[in-house]
Structure 1
Amino acid sequence: MHTSHARIVAANPQRLIKRLCNHWRHKFPVQLDEQSGVIELPLGQCSLSAGEGYLDARLQSPDQEQMHRMQTVVADHLARMAGDEPLAIDWRH
C-alpha cells in the first residue's frame, strides 16, 4: 500500500472538507463529521482532518501510478473548493 500526506494551510479547513465530501458524495462512499472526512475513491482512500489553520490530507493507494493520479485529482478538487484562497499542496510519501 502506498501512502502520501500533505499539511495544507487553510483559513477554514472544516469548510474545505465539507465541500469536498459533499461534492463527491453522489459518486463515492463518504464519511463526514465536524472535523474530518473519508472518501473512498476508485484510485484509493482520501482521509481529511482539520486542525487550527490547516488541513491534513492522507492518501492511500495500492499502486504508485494510481497514487500520483489521486494526488493530482485531490489537489485539483481542493483548489476548486477553496475558491479564491490559494492552497500550497506538497505531497510527501
Structure 2
Amino acid sequence: MQKSQAQFMTDKGPRYLGQLCKHFAHKIDADFDGNHGYANFPFGIAKMRADANQLEIAIEAEDEAALSRTKDVIESHLVRFAFRENLEKLEWRDAA
C-alpha cells in the first residue's frame, strides 16, 4: 500500500473539507462529519481532517500510479475551490 500526506494551511479548512466531500459524494462514497471526512475513489482513499488553521489530507492507494491519480484528483479540486487563496499545488509527503 502506498501512502502520502499533504497539509494546506488555511483558516477555511472545515469549509474546504465540506466542499470536497460534498462534491465527490455525487459520484463516489464520500462524506464528512464535523472536522473529519473521507472520499473512497476506485483507485485510492483520501481521509481528511480540518481545523481553524489547516486542512490535512492522507491518501492510500495500491500502487504508485493509483497514488498519483488520487493526489491529482484531490489537488485539482482543492486548487479550484481555494482559488481566492492562490493555492497552486500541495506539497505531498510520501511515506517510505
Aligned-partner Cα distance in 2 for 1:83–1:22 = 18
How many angstroms does 1:34 deviate by? 1.1
When the two structures are superposed, what TM-score results if normalisation uses the length of structure 2?
Answer: 0.90
Q: Which runs of 4+ in 1 moved over 2 A?
A: none
1:63 matched to 2:69? The reply is no
How many angstroms does 1:71 deviate by? 0.9
SS at match of 1:84: helix
CA-atom RMSD, angstroms?
Answer: 1.2
Cα pair 2:14 2:52 within 8 Å, conserved: no
Matched residue type, 1:89: L
Aligned-partner Cα distance in 2 for 1:77–1:67 = 16
Could you list the runs of 5+ residues in structure 2 that have no partner in the other structure?
none
Which residue number in structure 2 is paired with residue 21 of structure 1?
21
Aligned-partner Cα distance in 1 for 2:36–2:82 = 16
Matched residue type, 1:63: D
Cα pair 2:2 2:63 within 8 Å, conserved: yes
How many angstroms does 1:83 deviate by? 2.7
Could you list the runs of 5+ residues in structure 1 that have no partner in the other structure?
none
Which residue number in structure 2 is paired with residue 4 of structure 1?
4
SS at match of 2:93: coil
Q: Which moved more, 1:15-24 or 1:50-59?
A: 50-59
Which residue number in structure 2 is paired with residue 89 of structure 1?
90
Matched residue type, 2:45: Q
Which residue number in structure 2 is paired with residue 76 of structure 1?
76
Matched residue type, 2:19: R
| Count of matched residue positions in the alignment of Structure 1 and Structure 2 | 93
Cα pair 2:22 2:31 within 8 Å, conserved: no
| Identical positions, percent | 28
